[in-house]
């Protein structure tokens, strides 16, 4: 079985792919809000993951042309890997795909970092460090199931800034009792040039959902927009729904993603976007962890995320992964082939997240369908409702429209 669905998609467009995401699925513990496919470390699992990751990287390198500009190492908790394991991973990427020319990001959990380790990550080639702060209130961190303190975060941010690498931090909101303004003020005070602000969402099957935790849409919107105002006043430019940067500190990888540029997804459950030789675009999500590792025998491991039960037992008699069954149910990954209006909708959905908006002529050129012709009525209605602006060929969501972006995008799909 191929671990990467990319290798089963047929001939690709020969244009080199310049962006890659690598998923490291391991965490020290699983947060109660987490809906990602992650696992706690168990004996032998990381070694198997690294061997299988190298096999997938080899498949990818054989199947497509790659000249990386950006790499994003996410998870999970990439920095949960031991130093020798992370060095091995970066060597694999370099050998198979080449190290990116412009930007290499690694996600950092404060509880896994020390100043010495931070310096080593930069020596390995990571020039963008993304710290998962979430909050600067220890009570909120405990409620979120985080294993670090605010003091830990501040120490690690100082260590990151001292390396000269571009440093970003993540905030999550709102939690009961959270002082959003205080969290944003402390984020600004750190001096980081980039801040990401994410809404706390309660996903089905997570411990928060099982416990009946609810976040009202209005509360989330109020918190996010309040944070946006404070960051803008401090000189951070909002360039995407969740991202704010000082001049020169935008995340190149994220901008490529929301501009729907081809991007490799490597590792269990990693997602990618590629253009096939016939012009079709394919979004794919790799098999989940257990299925991804299954060719070398059963894997039983504590896992979180949608379909976690299927992941934990995958490879232990769950059927032939190549039998042509429903991949979304079997854990065998998913592929969405897009042309015409489907591709148009995908491009609009991504582009509207960018504050600068999306060029409708570019959408028409890439998708073969002009939104102004097939969705002209919807565009006029959204504009009259104050949800979007159309200036020449540029379509962008208004501040109010960004708060209702799912509905805006659905109207144009």
Q: Which tens digits make up the pLDDT trace of 15-26?
A: 999 999 999 988
Does residue 387 carry a pLDDT above 90?
yes
3-class DSSP state for residue 271? strand
- The values of phi and psi at residue 128, to 5°, are -135, 125
Last residue in a domain, options 242, 258, 274: 258
Is residue 314 assigned to a domain? no
Indicate whether 244 and 352 sit together in one domain: no
Contacts of 383 (CB under 8 A, 6+ apart): 389, 390
Is residue 159 assigned to a domain? yes
Q: Using the structure block, give the residue that is written with the tokens 């976690």.
A: 308
Q: In what order do the strands lie in the sheet with 394-397?
A: 358-359, 394-397, 388-391
Q: What is the pLDDT of residues 327-370, one digit of tens each?
A: 333 347 899 999 999 999 999 999 999 999 999 999 999 989 99
Is residue 355 assigned to a domain? yes
Last residue in a domain, options 258, 292, 321: 258
Number of C-beta neighbours around residue 399 at 10 A: 12
Indicate whether 243 and 131 sit together in one domain: yes
Is residue 401 assigned to a domain? yes
Is residue 325 assigned to a domain? no
Is residue 222 assigned to a domain? yes
> What is the spatial distance between Cα 28 and Cα 147, in angstroms, rounded to a whole number?
9
What is the model's pLDDT at position 219? 73
Does residue 234 carry a pLDDT above 70?
yes
Indicate whether 215 and 362 sit together in one domain: no
What is the model's pLDDT at position 348? 95
pLDDT (mean) for 37-51: 73
What is the model's pLDDT at position 30? 58
Is residue 90 assigned to a domain? yes
Indicate whether 227 and 357 sit together in one domain: no
Q: What is the pLDDT of residues 57-91, one digit of tens each?
A: 999 999 999 999 999 999 888 998 999 999 999 99
CATH code at position 364: 1.10.10.920
Is residue 58 assigned to a domain? yes
> What is the spatial distance between Cα 160 and Cα 131, in angstroms, rounded to a whole number?
9
Q: What is the pLDDT of residues 87-117, one digit of tens each?
A: 999 999 999 999 999 999 999 999 899 999 9
Does residue 290 carry a pLDDT above 80?
no
Does residue 4 carry a pLDDT above 90?
no
Q: Using the structure block, give the residue that is written with the tokens 């976007």.
A: 273
- Kindly report the pTM of this predicted structure: 0.86
Indicate whether 25 and 128 sit together in one domain: yes
Indicate whether 111 and 226 sit together in one domain: yes
Number of C-beta neighbours around residue 123 at 10 A: 10
Give 377: exposed, middle or buried? Use CB within 10 Å, 0-12, 13-18, 19+: exposed
pLDDT (mean) for 271-288: 93
Indicate whether 138 and 17 sit together in one domain: yes
Percent of the chain with pLDDT over 90: 64
Indicate whether 253 and 353 sit together in one domain: no
Mean pLDDT value across the chain? 85
Q: What domain range includes position 173? A: 5-258
CATH code at position 41: 3.80.30.20
pLDDT band at 221 (very low <50, low <70, confident <90, very high): confident
The helix (H) or strand (E) run that includes residue 274 is strand 271-275
Does residue 240 carry a pLDDT above 50?
yes
Indicate whether 197 and 62 sit together in one domain: yes
Q: What is the pLDDT of residues 146-205, one digit of tens each?
A: 778 999 999 999 999 999 999 999 998 877 778 999 999 999 999 999 999 998 765 555
Does residue 317 carry a pLDDT above 60?
no
What is the model's pLDDT at position 324? 32
Q: Strand runs (DSSP E) across 93-236, as ranges? A: 103-108, 128-134, 166-173, 194-199
Does residue 34 carry a pLDDT above 70?
no
Last residue in a domain, options 258, 276, 310: 258
Does residue 40 carry a pLDDT above 70?
no
Indicate whether 253 and 344 sit together in one domain: no
What is the model's pLDDT at position 3? 59
Does residue 404 carry a pLDDT above 50?
yes
For the chain, the domain total comes to 2
Number of C-beta neighbours around residue 385 at 10 A: 14
Q: Using the structure block, give the residue that is written with the tokens 């020596």.
A: 123
What is the model's pLDDT at position 157? 98
Q: What is the pLDDT of residues 319-329, one digit of tens each?
A: 332 333 333 33
């Amino acid at each position: 079985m191929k671990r990467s669905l990319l290798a089963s998609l047929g001939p690709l467009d020969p244009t080199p792919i310049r962006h890659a995401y690598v998923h490291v699925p391991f965490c020290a513990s699983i947060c109660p809000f987490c809906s990602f496919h992650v696992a706690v470390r168990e004996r032998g699992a990381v070694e198997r993951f690294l061997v299988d990751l190298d096999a997938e990287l080899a498949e990818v390198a054989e199947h497509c042309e790659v000249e990386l500009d950006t790499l994003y190492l996410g998870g999970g908790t990439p920095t949960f890997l031991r130093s020798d394991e992370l060095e091995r991973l970066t060597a694999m990427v370099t050998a198979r795909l080449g190290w990116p020319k412009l930007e290499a990001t690694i996600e950092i959990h404060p509880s896994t970092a020390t100043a010495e380790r931070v310096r080593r990550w930069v020596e390995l080639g990571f020039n963008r460090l993304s710290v998962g702060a979430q909050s600067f209130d220890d009570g909120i961190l405990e409620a979120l199931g985080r294993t670090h303190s605010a003091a830990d975060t501040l120490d690690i941010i100082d260590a990151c800034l001292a390396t000269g690498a571009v440093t970003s931090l993540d905030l999550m909101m709102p939690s009961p009792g959270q002082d959003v303004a205080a969290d944003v003020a402390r984020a600004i005070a750190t001096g980081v040039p980039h801040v990401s602000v994410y809404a706390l969402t309660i996903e089905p099957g997570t411990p928060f959902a099982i416990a009946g935790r609810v976040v009202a849409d209005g509360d989330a919107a109020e918190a996010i927009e309040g944070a946006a105002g404070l960051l803008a006043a401090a000189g951070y430019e909002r360039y995407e729904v969740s991202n704010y940067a000082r001049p020169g500190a935008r995340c190149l990888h994220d901008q490529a993603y929301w501009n729907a540029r081809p991007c490799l997804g490597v590792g269990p459950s990693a997602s990618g976007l590629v253009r096939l030789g016939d012009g079709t675009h394919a979004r794919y999500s790799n098999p989940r962890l257990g299925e991804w590792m299954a060719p070398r025998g059963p894997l039983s491991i504590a896992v979180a995320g949608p379909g976690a039960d299927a992941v934990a037992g995958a490879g232990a008699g769950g059927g032939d992964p190549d039998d042509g069954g429903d991949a979304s149910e079997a854990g065998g990954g998913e592929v969405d082939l897009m042309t015409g209006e489907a591709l148009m909708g995908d491009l609009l959905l991504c582009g509207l997240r960018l504050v600068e908006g999306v060029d409708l002529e570019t959408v028409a050129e890439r998708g073969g369908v002009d939104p102004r012709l097939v969705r002209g009525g919807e565009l006029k209605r959204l504009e009259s409702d104050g949800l979007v602006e159309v200036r020449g060929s540029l379509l962008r969501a208004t501040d109010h429209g960004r708060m209702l972006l799912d509905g805006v995008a659905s109207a144009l799909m």
